[in-house]
Each structure stands twice: as structure tokens, then as C-alpha cells.
Amino acid sequence: MNGNDRRLGRRQFVKATGAVLGAGAAFPHLVFRPGAVAAQDAPLGKITAPDVQKYTGATINLAVQKHTATDAIQQLSSNFEQQTGIKVNFEQIPQQQMDQKQRTDLATGTGSYDVIGWFLNPEYVENDWIRPIDELRQDTGSTDEALLAIDDFYPPFLGWNQYKGVLFSLPFYGESIMMYYNTDEFAKAGIAKAPETVTELEDACKAIKAGGRMAGIALRASQEGNAAVYPFLAWLRGYGGFWVDLETNEVGLDKPEAIEAATEWGRFLREYGPPDVASYFWNEVQLAMQQEKAAIIMDATNFGPRLEDPAESKVAGKVGYALLPKVMGPNGPRGPEQSQGAFGYPAIAYGMSVPRSAKNWQAAWLFIQWATSPDVTLETTKTGLRGDPTRKSSLDSPQFAEKYNFGNGAWAKTLSTTFGFGLPDYFPKDVVTSAQLGDVLGLALSQIVTGDKSAQDAMTEAQEKSVDIQKKAGLLK
């Protein structure tokens, strides 16, 4: 986990999670190929918690995001039921609907759910609606340290699931961001390698545009759900700017670095993007690559399997994978994350938590440990198309390397690299005003990419609105 600079803040975007984070609410809905899991010589995710038999006959109810990763767990849940005698009921809900259902249940203390899936919500913690992981671990009868294997999780994903340094959920699936490029189009345009600097990126975009076959680059730029914020923050950090300072709550949108980043981000999309790029959400970005409408995209790491699926993608077998380009200054790369190789990288992980109101919280805790355990995580990557494991052991396994050998291993290598130094504070997730601030920044970016306002005017106005939000919340004087 990179801790060089905390100023960009931590971020959850409760109301906009589906747009700002990965795809398909948080991540792309990778196609799960249901099929019988191979017979197990031993129980999958063998449970050795001392009190496991005490929970026989219990029923736990889950409210989790509708997603292929949860599909995969549901397919395997009979393994858990057979070992424990605990009945597991899944309710898979689209992300934004899930947030509302969970909030209503938690606020009233109804206790309808024993397990909830979430992207860290400060409201849940501030109201003491969920149990910290350390508190759950203190119940030694329902804790299975072999399943938990806490040190096997990528540290940045644990960081994302913390609130003010306290862990409240176990990472279930995760993502960062990488650059994808069409190797065939690069060859036709005479581009020898992936761009490593913003200057090289522009040279590549110019060459592709001159060829007339497709746009140079596509990024999320829609105001819907503040989609544009997701890629823009990578540029912002690369240019040395910040959004929110976690220690002072200062907003930095009118700083020279932020205005420069917004200017260049908008210019690239206007000059080298598809004509309708201002409306692009995650799925439009993915489709632009799949359908050869754009030669370069910078988006969620788990796009890889779908870009390489010949049933869905024209570019299957001809996708290159790389880190994001550097912004070069007179003394070398700019921005606090440049020692890691490029722009800022998010570390975003959907987690599973136990509500304070859960009727069978010990059985729920046991299930969460099992569902996120090393063996179960690896099995779901083998039986489904999952480019989002949060465990090092799964991503580093020979089974993962064999199944996901995209670009002769380049995708998996880049994935592992970004997971290792991703920033859990890429979004200001611990800031209670983050959703409001996201609305303001999302509007400004939309105005910039459409050309309705200059970056100077849009970002200055966004700064004024953001400061007002912070003052009304008592975060600034």
C-alpha cells in the first residue's frame, strides 16, 4: 500500500458507486460459466473453527451485489452448508438498490440480513451498524484463522475496507486501473510500443487518428453517476494535484496542477476520443475497445477477460496491457505516485460485513471467512471468468496464470502490479461529504469534456461549491 500522499483522500461514492468504480455497479459483469465444480477429495475451504457444529440448523440471509463473483460463491455455497449445517439464502441486488435496502434495514434495526456486501459507507460505521472485523475475530469459537489468512489479502484492498484505520469488511473482489491498447492498430499506425509518457500517448493518439480507422483513446466521461471522476483522478495525481486533503479537508480543485490535469484530460478526449465520448460510462469504454472504435482505453483491470472473449470482442488475441503513462516534468516524473510508474491507481474492493443487527452473527462471520478464503477464492477464479481476486495466492497461482494467459501473461502481471501499489485513498471514502463533492466534480468534468466551459472556469466554480459543502458540514471554517 502506498502511503506517500494522503491528500487525494478516501472515497466511497455511495450514490455513484456503479459508475465511479469498475463496471456493472462496481466491476464488469464477467460471464460466469456455470458448470459442476469438480468433485472435491476434501471439503472446499475446510472449516476448522472450534464451535462450527453449534450453528447447525441456523439460517443466514445475505444482501449482496448482483455480480458474477457472487454468482460463483452461490454456486459453491453447498460446500459450506454441508460442512456446517447452516442454510445460506442469497439475495442478489443491483448495487444502488442494495444500498437503499441495506440502509433502511440497518437504520431500523430490523435484522433482515446477517451478511451485507458493501463499498465502505461512513454512515454505517458512524451509526455503529456493523461489527469491526477485530471484534468478530475475538469470538474464537467462530473464527477460523486458516480460512481468514488475513496476510494473503493485498494490503491496499484491506485499506479500502477500513474506515479511519479500522477494518469493517473482508475484501471479496477488487480492481485497479490499467491501460489497454489494440496491438494490430498500433502496428498499422507504426507505433512500436505502449506509451510510457503523456507525450508518447499523444503521439500514439495522433498517429491513430491520422489512420482514420478508429479513435485514439476512450475514457469514462459521462456526468451520469460521476463516471468521469474515476479516470480523471488518475490524471489529477499524475499532474501532482489533489482533490481533498484528508487531514485538513482542504479542496484542491483550483490549484494549478488540478486545472492543468483537467485541461489535458478534456483536450485528449475532445481531440482524440470518439464523437460521443462525453456520454461514456464504463460499458461504453469497454465496447469501444471490443468493437475497435478506440485503440486505447484506461479503465478497470478486470476488463481483460471480456476483451479477450472472442464471442464478445473483435480484439480478442490482439490486446496489449500496460501501466498508465507518466507525466514528465523538468526533473523527471511528476506526482506523488510516480515512483510506482505512472498516474495514481485506485485500490477498490467490494467487501462482506456483518451487521450489528444480524440474528445469526457468528454463523455469518463463519460464512464470510469461508467465502473469502484462499481455497474458495481460487476455485471461483477457476470455474468462472474472474479477473478480480483480492488474494495474492489466487492471482499468483499457476491455475490463474494458465487460465488467464492474456498477452502471454502481460495482463496478469500488470494486474498484480497495480493491486500491489493501488491507493485505498484514491477516493476520499472516509470523508462524509464525498458523495456531494463527487457530484460537483462530475459536473465540472462533464462541462470540460463537452467544451461548455474551460477547465479554468469549471474547476474554479467546482472549488467554490466544494468549499461551501465542506463549510456547511463543519469540515472547514
Q: Rounded to an integer, what distance in angstroms lies between the CA atom of residue 354 and that of residue 361?
A: 6
The predicted structure's pLDDT at residue 155: 95
Distance from C-alpha of 349 to C-alpha of 308, rounded to nearest angstrom: 23
Per the model's pLDDT, the better-predicted residue between 33 and 469 turns out to be: 469
Task: Give yes or no for a contact between 344 and 351, defined as CB atoms under 8 angstroms apart.
Answer: no
3-state helix, strand, coil in the chain (%, to 5): 45, 15, 40
Whether 67 shows a pLDDT value over 80: the answer reads yes
Architecture of 177-344+432-472 per CATH?
3-Layer(aba) Sandwich (3.40)
pLDDT above 90: residue 130: yes
Average confidence score pLDDT of the chain: 89
pLDDT, average across residues 387-409:
94
Give 25-63 pLDDT, tens digit per residue. Answer: 333 333 323 333 334 457 899 999 999 999 999 999 999
**Residue 438 binned pLDDT confidence (cut-offs 50, 70, 90):** very high
pLDDT at 386: 81
Is residue 24 scored above 60 in pLDDT? no
**Is the distance from CB of 344 to CB of 423 less than 8 angstroms?**
yes
**Opening angle at CA 259, ends 258 and 263, nearest 5:** 120
**pLDDT > 70 in the chain, percent:** 88
Output the nine-digit C-alpha cell for 71.
454468482
387: nearest Cα among 421, 369, 414: 414
Give the residue ranges of DSSP H helices in 30-182.
Answer: 68-84, 95-108, 122-126, 133-137, 145-148, 155-160
Does the domain at residues 14-175+347-421 carry the CATH identifier 3.40.190.10? yes
Domain boundaries, the chain: 14-175+347-421, 177-344+432-472
Q: For position 279, what pLDDT does the model report?
A: 96
In the structure, what pLDDT confidence band is assigned to residue 383 with cuts at 50, 70 and 90? confident
Q: How far apart are the first and last CA of the chain?
A: 32
Q: Note the pLDDT of residue 66.
A: 86
pLDDT of residue 17: 39
Return the exposure string of 155-193: e unless at least 16 CB atoms fall within 10 Å of the residue's CB, then b. Answer: bbbbbbbbbeeebbbbbbbbbbbbbbbbbbbbeebebee
Euclidean distance between CA atoms 470 and 318, whole angstroms: 47
Reported confidence tier of residue 342, pLDDT bands at 50, 70, 90? low
Which pLDDT score is estimated for 41?
57
Q: Name the residue with higher pLDDT: 22 or 268.
A: 268
Q: How many residues does the chain have?
A: 477
User: Do 14-175+347-421 and 177-344+432-472 have matching folds?
Assistant: yes
**Beta strands 59-65; 115-118: pairing state:** parallel
pLDDT for 25 equals 37
pLDDT at residue 12 tops 50: no
What cell numbers appear for 43 in the block?
471439503
pLDDT tens, position by position, 230-250: 999 999 999 989 999 999 999
pLDDT for the residue numbered 121: 78
pLDDT category at 328 given cuts 50, 70, 90 is confident
Which residue carries 460464512 as its cell?
A: 367
Lowest-confidence segment of 186-195, 269-278, 335-344, 357-366 by average pLDDT? 335-344
Summarize the confidence of residues 285-292 as an average pLDDT: 98
Strand pairing class (170-175; 177-182): unpaired
* Section 118-142 average pLDDT: 92
Q: What was the pLDDT predicted at 97?
A: 85
Q: What is the pLDDT of residue 339?
A: 52
Grid cell digits, residue 255: 490549484
Residue 330 C-alpha from the chain's centroid: 33
